[in-house]
Amino acid sequence: MNLYPLAKALTYIYIRFMYKITYEGLENIPADQGFILSSNHQTFYDPLFIAHKVKPQMHFMAKAEFFDKKIVGWLFRSLGAFPVQRGKSDKSAMDTARKIIESGDVMAIFPEGTRSKDGNPMRPKPGVAMVAGMVGCGVQPVGISYMGRLRFRKKVTVRYAPFLSARSLAIDAKSTATIRRASYMVMDAIVGAMDPDCYDTYSKAADKEKGDKTTHADHDS
């Protein structure tokens, strides 16, 4: 059973009631291909914010332990999730991601890997670029912006940046350097789509190609 269409409709009503949401850059969303959808990540509401203006079904990876529980596992699968073994190569999960994207659906992956506790964009993990490189797809960056804590009737801006095609990302799945470079291309595009006054700093590697660990603040409030 696919509960995604029903859940999408109900949650859209909910978030529209809870928050004052503005969507921008909708013309950048591809209409003729599957892709990876990536945004900054601050709250559990982020998947709802970014999914509602994307027509294809959105899928996401969840740690395999969730699927060991019958009810939770069934619910996750019904909403478009599939298991992944974290911390190691999972060929089955990668094959599933490939099938999803090749079918014209969307994979949602947060490049930071976890939620930002202070709202500041963080360094990207390699996951988005690795999947994009192995599947051969593009990435749709999204910036979610709001001031302070997410409260009732808070103004939220969801801005879709220009689409990053597989060609522009130029990822060699066997090359750490191209994966690192593409990871920052995606994260830089996400940060560029965010309102500058909604965060204090964005720390990134000074030399992306060489993997320099030095960080610096690129934006100030």
Domains of the chain, residue spans: 4-213
Identify the CATH assignment for 4-213 out of 3.30.1120.10, 3.30.450.90, 3.30.559.10, 3.40.1130.10. Answer: 3.40.1130.10
Nearest to 188 by CA among 211, 210, 218: 218
Please give the Cα distance from 132 to 123 (Å, whole number).
Answer: 18
- pLDDT per residue of the chain (221 residues) written in tens, 0 to 9: 889 999 999 999 999 999 999 999 999 999 999 999 999 999 989 999 999 999 999 999 887 888 888 898 898 889 988 888 766 667 888 889 999 999 999 999 999 988 899 999 999 999 899 999 999 999 999 999 999 899 999 999 999 999 999 999 999 989 999 999 999 999 999 999 999 999 998 865 434 443 443 333 333 33
Q: Which two tokens stand for residue 42?
A: 């601050």
Contact status, residue 111 vs residue 192, Cβ threshold 8 Å? no
- Indicate the burial class of 77 (C-beta count within 10 angstroms; 0-12, 13-18, 19 or more): middle
Block residue for tokens 């970014």:
50
Please give the Cα distance from 85 to 83 (Å, whole number).
Answer: 7
Question: What distance, in Å, lies between the first and last C-alpha atoms of the chain?
Answer: 47
- Indicate the burial class of 122 (C-beta count within 10 angstroms; 0-12, 13-18, 19 or more): buried
- For residue 152, give the amino acid letter: F
